[in-house]
Structure 1
Amino acid sequence: MDGKWIALKYFYEDNPMEIVSPMTMNNDTALHVVASNRYSDLLKHLILLIKDNAPEMLRRALKIENNDGNTPLHEAAASGNLDAAKLLVDEDKILSGQSSFSSLVEIRNQLGESPLYRATAFGHTNLVKYLASQVKPQQQDIEQQQLELAIEYHFNRNHDNISILQIAVISQHFETALWLLKKYPDLANRKESNGLTSLQLLAQMPSAFEPKFRQSKWKKLIYKYSGLFDDDNCDSERRSNQSPNQNDDLESGSNQPPNQNDEDLDRRSNQPRQSSSSKKITKLLLGWRPTSKMFEEMQNQKLLSKLTDLLVKEYSWAGEYSDSPNIRNTFCLLCSNKQVEEDSDCGCHDGGETSKSIYKYTPLLTATCTGILQIVEKIINFNPQAIEARDIETRENILHVAIKHRQLAIFKFVRKEKTITSRLAYGIDSDGNSILHHAADMKFYTVDAQHVSGPAFQLQEELFWMARVEKIMPRHYAMHQNNQGVTAKELFESKHSSLLASAKGWIKETAQSCSTVAALVATVAYAAAFTVPGGNDKRGVPVLGHSPFFITFAISDTISLICSLTSLGTFLSILTSPFEYENFHCSLPFRLHLGFALLFFSLVATMFTFTATLVLLIHHQKMWTTSLIYVVALLPVSVFGLSQFPLYDGFRKSLKYISKKIMKPTISLIRDVFVNLKLFIESILNLKFCIRRLPG
């Protein structure tokens, strides 16, 4: 549609019988199109045209389906058009002679979705509340038990049995999911066709727990220190900015959902109100798009935390073991499996959690696989015994799963409980693998490109991981063989042989390239030392030696020469190394980091030397000329530094690791020396005192 709604209105005024005729390739009628585009007034006008010209067609017009089986109410539910939904439901009530309920809300589309289910899938909470209040009971006398039986019809869709709560969780509409779970707690224990509960599905969604605002430090500072993003104040601002059809009070009057209480209203009324100036600042910040996006993500995280708490408390995680294979299926979140196979370009695949591997594990172990520490903490805090649970098929505990999936945060969390960790470390899975075997296996290893910048550092990370696990594993398990008769060390060497070969080639090429650059820098620095800017006088004294920039030239050139030669020696030592596994644990990566750092410092010093030389030669020029020279001279260093920043971060980590290994024993040794020296001095003084007390 081109948005020519007035022309559309005039067309149907002249041709009212065409309102029920298809107007799109999907066989959408005018009611479908208008209901999905939030033009409630035009929808009302079209319905009046049908009433005036062909009232017998109105029932058919309201229930006519497009190619997807969607009625106009389905389209209104998907778009969140509350006014259109009310209008369609009210007209159906009049036609059917019902005063409270509409049969229109009971119609399912080809995916087996009712309008209530479809509104949930798109996260329109207000519309979900309204449609839930319009569900038809089995009998005319409305009782709570009958109403619950009636709404059961809307809790699942047909083809995959995904519940209405699960579709809200999968679509990451946590406000809607939280309302549904509070309203209908039994939804927490419903399973879809693969036997997974809502918490198990949530545990497969790590991206939901890592909002984008956490990647920006300034956004976190705004949120933390502004004190303006109060939930209630921001909720009120958000409600005031909503359109009128989204601002209706669904919790009162004829639209009141069943069992709605006023707990939230009482809580809000008892809280202090925000000052007018704070409200203005809050409104200003919310009007700024980056801040508004940040607030939405933070609100979503708070809702997600509350939802996780409720799901954990509903026991949906306890004792849920599946006999299915490790990865059974892949499914599209909003479409059927069949539709995904036929049309890979379905709209659900544009982004987000579009497809997921279905794990056989409990929510605790699934969250451990995906690294969702929040779920792991909540489950263990709610039931501490869960930390010792094992998978019924593989006999793996939380430590096995965390280690083989390289989930360091969860590994550290489990290690806090030393007594439990020691028991878990003794665990052997059904294949005879110890925790060290899982650390040695690369089956679930994935490269973190943001923190690891080359094969050598990948191998170093793997060696660090083995070292972490060895610290908590019983010593005699080092020689333990699994069911294939392989020890952990043998498994590590066989699985990492290709990575070792890649690391060898990569670090050799890098060291060779950098040693060439270091040699060139050393040559330039050495030549500059004997080419004094301004020349020498008859006595051999530099003509410009009195200038402070000459001292800068001399110092920076010396630093450049020393750093470049040291860097060259470091890279040459790498080329002569044996390249065994133990060399990649600390020695080779640290040398490479050190070589890069020294090379960078030599380049910086060379640029300072160059800048100081230019200033000495053209110091009489205008200020803007010298400033431009400074910028141009330092530009190459800045580009090189930014491009190699991950390596410097790795150097910092390696330096920290080495200092930790060296400084702790050194400090302990110095402390012992001082203590022994103190005791020795005290003993000498005591001996001297005793000698003085002797008679004669």
Structure 2
Amino acid sequence: MATSMLSSTIVLEVLRNDNYPNWSACIKNYLLAQDLWDIFETTTKPPKLEDDAVEFKAWRKKNAAALHAIQISCGVEIQSQINDISSAKTVWDMLPKLVHQPPSKGASYNPVAEQGNALNILSNNVHEDGSMIAPYQKVEIGSSSNNPGRQNIINTWNADYYMGYAPLHKALQSGDWNSAKEFLKLQPNSLTAKITTLGKTALHLSVEAGHVHIVEALVEEMSEDDLEVQDNFGNTALLNATSTGQYKMVECMLRKNKKLVSMGRASPNGFHMLPVVWALSNGYIKIARYLYSLTPLEDLIPEKGRSGSTLCSEAIYTRALDIALDLIRRCPRLVLAPDNYSFSPLYALASAKYAFPSGHRLVFWKRWISSCIHIQLANGTTTNEVHLIIQKDVGCQSDAVKTNRLSSVRALLRRPFSKLIKLLDIEHLYEMKLVHEQSRQLLHQMCKEILISDVEGRHKGCVYQAIFRSIKEGVFEFVHDVVKANPDLLWSNDFNSRNIFSYAVLCRQPKIFSLIYGLDVKNNLAYDRDNSGNNILHMAGMPPVSIMLNRIPGAALQMQRELQWFKEVESIVHPKVKDAGNNDDMTSRELFTKNHKDLMKEGEIWMKDTATSCTVVAALILTIMFAAAFTVPGGNNDTGLPIFLNTKLFRLSIISDSLSLFSSASSVLMFLGILTSRYAEEDFFKSLPKKMIIGLSTPFFSIATMMIAFSAGLLLTLHEESWMVIPVISLASIPVTMFVLMQFPLLVDMYISTYGPGIFDRKMEQWL
């Protein structure tokens, strides 16, 4: 008689009290093969949604997959003890203790009595019509926790019950509808019976196996009520199809029973979630849009739970802003309603850096193209009124079009137009601009709700947390519009009692900090201190967030940017604030020096390495051009004068040689000044960058003039061999081009950082 059942394809036998070593080795190999084992080996805490939404969702998906693999590989008794645990690592650590628990003291076992009782158990598990009662339908016959003999017989009977459905199970897994159909004819009750230990029906198994044709056939045979059967986890077959991205299956089941969209189940956080929410949380946006169109608004209002707010948050996280915008228009109260993560849709939007123009750094020509794209969304609908007409398949033309000359010309014109659109990335820019317009309208709708909210509602709706999250992400539009909608929020503080502008300085967000120039109360805000006694100038002295510094090339320019921040904040505070100490009795300047020692050292190393490399190049050019000045093309006559002295090309060669010589000599001297600098804090602000700009500019000029001198000399010598001269001269542009590609971007960045308009907008207009 069987003692286990094949409830999954992961292990040969489900976990029992006597097979843990073999079971654990098998399941570990499976988890390694599926790239899921790393969540069991990590010693760090799981990521949090508020810190990194992308990393959190990736961890959550891996954790759910690993937990599901363990659950379906455990016996019923063990599984019942781990159902309420949401961490796969915690379950894995618990299992050895669960399977090695000694039997309760005082337990007695009488095999003869148990064999007699077995008949009673089996007889109590038969319907009047002769069909077997499933284990989940049994009435409990005493406690078996202290009687191993009774438990063994129950387990044996359970295994026999499920093994009876093994042929159906196998047929459904393999996609053999003919065999499955024959089995269902012989046992009609199998159509809706729960045929696995997890309470799954034939429809559940077909959905998980991904066989669309079997699902469609089963749905055709089932009633509306049959589709509402749930497994032990509360999942309908529709939920399974939703969670695995099976669009055709979802469509098939909802054509039969539209009430399924209102049948969800509890999430790992314990909150009820509808199918549309599960679809979005798993990233299946197409399915989510279809489910959303069928889901009644009554199921999404805050009074019905957190499905509506979670749906809106997930729509923002997954970039389905059309769903979020439509839902907020229909139910504005969801803006500040808590979601399954104990945040709110407002907080989700504050985290969505991608949704706002400030979250994108475009080159100038892409900014110009983006400004030429105009998008207008119709109010009250998610349908986009503006579309890009792009021919993606020019080859598909009807016979009528082929015979029409005008259509043929249009078809020929579409091909280069389509390629131009792809080359200029216009389609991507359009999608980006569409998202920006949707987010603008979504934020506008949310601000209306913030305006009428009270203090308690703002706390529950994470308004303050959302503001500071948007500052961290650099979402200028969010901070500006939310504070403008409710000016009281200007005085918001985070958990460390830092105000908006202190936190903007700490996160190095210049555009958000520049909002202070459009306020009359900036002096009052600059006086604020946090829990550690730090004022806004102390924030400029604290170490910056690494991701902000990584955008700046070179440690020296990073140090320059830090000094620019410190001096900018210093310029707006009262003189008394400059010398004020914090709780550690440190002034802002002392704090700056302490926190930037390492960066200053790295800047010194970067400057010296760059100067040393460029000095070698400049010295080599200097040597060559000095020698070339006395080795004239064509030689000298009897009087010692150059033969080509009176020609224009000779003069050009000599002048170019001299310019290259002088510029390379200047470059060597400038780099020598950099190498011998004292490298004080203030030197990184102007002195060192200015020397580096001159030092990098002169080699560029020196190389260019050296190539001109070379070309002129070559023309003088081989003026009658133009077929040879022209290709050689053309190659002279290669060194100049290489130097430009390697050093010119750095030179431009350094020039803009030192002499450009700056990162702060001191001309900010009054906005509040």
Residue aligning to 2:590 = 490
Q: Does structure 2 retain, via aligned residues, the 8 Å contact 1:37–1:79?
A: no
Give 2:306's match in structure 1, choosing from 136, 139, 155: 155
- Give yes or no for the alignment of 1:413 onto 2:515: yes
Separation of aligned partners in 2, 1:91 and 1:637: 71
Separation of aligned partners in 2, 1:103 and 1:650: 58
Shift of 1:372: 0.8
Residue aligning to 2:35 = none
Shift of 1:438: 0.8
Shift of 1:409: 0.8
What SS class does the counterpart of residue 428 from structure 1 fall into?
A: coil
Distance 1:28 1:309, change over 3 A: farther
Give 2:238's match in structure 1, choosing from 73, 97, 103: 73
Separation of aligned partners in 2, 1:105 and 1:59: 14
Aligned 1:95-494 pairs, distance under 5 A:
102-103=259-260, 105-108=262-265, 111=268, 112-121=272-281, 122-124=284-286, 126-133=289-296, 147=298, 153=304, 155-156=306-307, 163-192=310-339, 195-209=342-356, 215-225=362-372, 235=385, 290-315=425-450, 319=455, 361-387=464-490, 389-391=491-493, 393-417=495-519, 419-442=520-543, 444=545, 446-450=547-551, 452-494=552-594
Shift of 1:375: 0.3
Separation of aligned partners in 2, 1:446 and 1:214: 14
What SS class does the counterpart of residue 538 from structure 2 fall into?
A: helix
Separation of aligned partners in 1, 2:657 and 2:175: 83
- Give yes or no for the alignment of 1:504 onto 2:604: yes
Q: One-letter code of the match for 1:303?
A: Q
Q: Does structure 2 retain, via aligned residues, the 8 Å contact 1:567–1:594?
A: yes
Residue aligning to 1:85 = 250
Shift of 1:539: 3.4
Q: One-letter code of the match for 1:605?
A: T
Q: One-letter code of the match for 2:531?
A: S
Q: Give the TM-score normalised by the residue count of structure 1.
A: 0.68
Shift of 1:174: 0.9
Q: For each residue in 1:545-568, what CA deviation from the matched residue of structure 2 results, as whole angstroms up to 9, or x when unmatched? A: 455433332222122111111111
Q: Does structure 2 retain, via aligned residues, the 8 Å contact 1:534–1:543?
A: yes
What SS class does the counterpart of residue 690 from structure 2 fall into?
A: helix
Q: For each residue in 1:205-224, what CA deviation from the matched residue of structure 2 results, as whole angstroms up to 9, or x when unmatched? A: 32443599752544444443
Separation of aligned partners in 1, 2:391 and 2:247: 16
Q: Does structure 2 retain, via aligned residues, the 8 Å contact 1:545–1:551?
A: yes
Separation of aligned partners in 2, 1:528 and 1:184: 81
Give 2:742's match in structure 1, choosing from 629, 639, 643: 643
Q: For each residue in 1:458-500, what CA deviation from the matched residue of structure 2 results, as whole angstroms up to 9, or x when unmatched? A: 1111111111011101012221111111111111111111222
Shift of 1:398: 1.5
Separation of aligned partners in 2, 1:192 and 1:604: 63
Residue aligning to 1:520 = 620
Separation of aligned partners in 1, 2:698 and 2:735: 16
Q: For each residue in 1:190-240, what CA deviation from the matched residue of structure 2 results, as whole angstroms up to 9, or x when unmatched? A: 12466432222322332443599752544444443466x666796475899
Separation of aligned partners in 2, 1:13 and 1:557: 89
Separation of aligned partners in 2, 1:69 and 1:240: 45
Q: Give the TM-score normalised by the residue count of structure 2.
A: 0.62
Q: Does structure 2 retain, via aligned residues, the 8 Å contact 1:373–1:409?
A: yes
Shift of 1:292: 2.7
Larger CA deviation: 179-188 vs 288-297: 288-297
Give 2:659's match in structure 1, choosing from 559, 578, 582: 559
Q: Does structure 2 retain, via aligned residues, the 8 Å contact 1:213–1:220?
A: no
Task: Give 5+ residue unaligned stretches, structure 1.
Answer: 1-6, 93-100, 136-146, 243-276, 325-357, 660-696
What SS class does the counterpart of residue 640 from structure 1 fall into?
A: helix
Identical counterparts, % of pairs:
26
Residue aligning to 1:12 = 177
Q: One-letter code of the match for 1:403?
A: V
Separation of aligned partners in 2, 1:82 and 1:201: 27
Larger CA deviation: 602-611 vs 558-567: 602-611
What SS class does the counterpart of residue 215 from structure 1 fall into?
A: coil
What SS class does the counterpart of residue 351 from structure 2 fall into?
A: coil
Shift of 1:595: 0.6
Q: For each residue in 1:298-343, what CA deviation from the matched residue of structure 2 results, as whole angstroms up to 9, or x when unmatched? A: 211111111112222211887479999xxxxxxxxxxxxxxxxxxx
What SS class does the counterpart of residue 592 from structure 2 fall into?
A: helix
Q: One-letter code of the match for 2:472?
A: C
What SS class does the counterpart of residue 586 from structure 2 fall into?
A: coil
Separation of aligned partners in 2, 1:155 and 1:241: 43
Separation of aligned partners in 1, 2:390 and 2:195: 36
Q: Does structure 1 retain, via aligned residues, the 8 Å contact 2:355–2:435?
A: no
Distance 1:291 1:109, change over 3 A: farther
Distance 1:576 1:130, change over 3 A: closer
Separation of aligned partners in 1, 2:481 and 2:463: 20
What SS class does the counterpart of residue 381 from structure 1 fall into?
A: helix
Residue aligning to 1:345 = none
Separation of aligned partners in 2, 1:550 and 1:474: 65
Output the aligned Cα RMSD: 4.4
Separation of aligned partners in 2, 1:401 and 1:213: 21
Residue aligning to 1:271 = none
Residue aligning to 1:612 = 712
Q: One-letter code of the match for 1:123?
A: I
Residue aligning to 2:33 = none
Q: For each residue in 1:39-76, what CA deviation from the matched residue of structure 2 results, as whole angstroms up to 9, or x when unmatched? A: 9787544533xx2xxx58x865664659x875442355
Distance 1:199 1:84, change over 3 A: same
Task: Give 5+ residue unaligned stretches, structure 2.
Answer: 1-171, 185-190, 393-409, 759-768
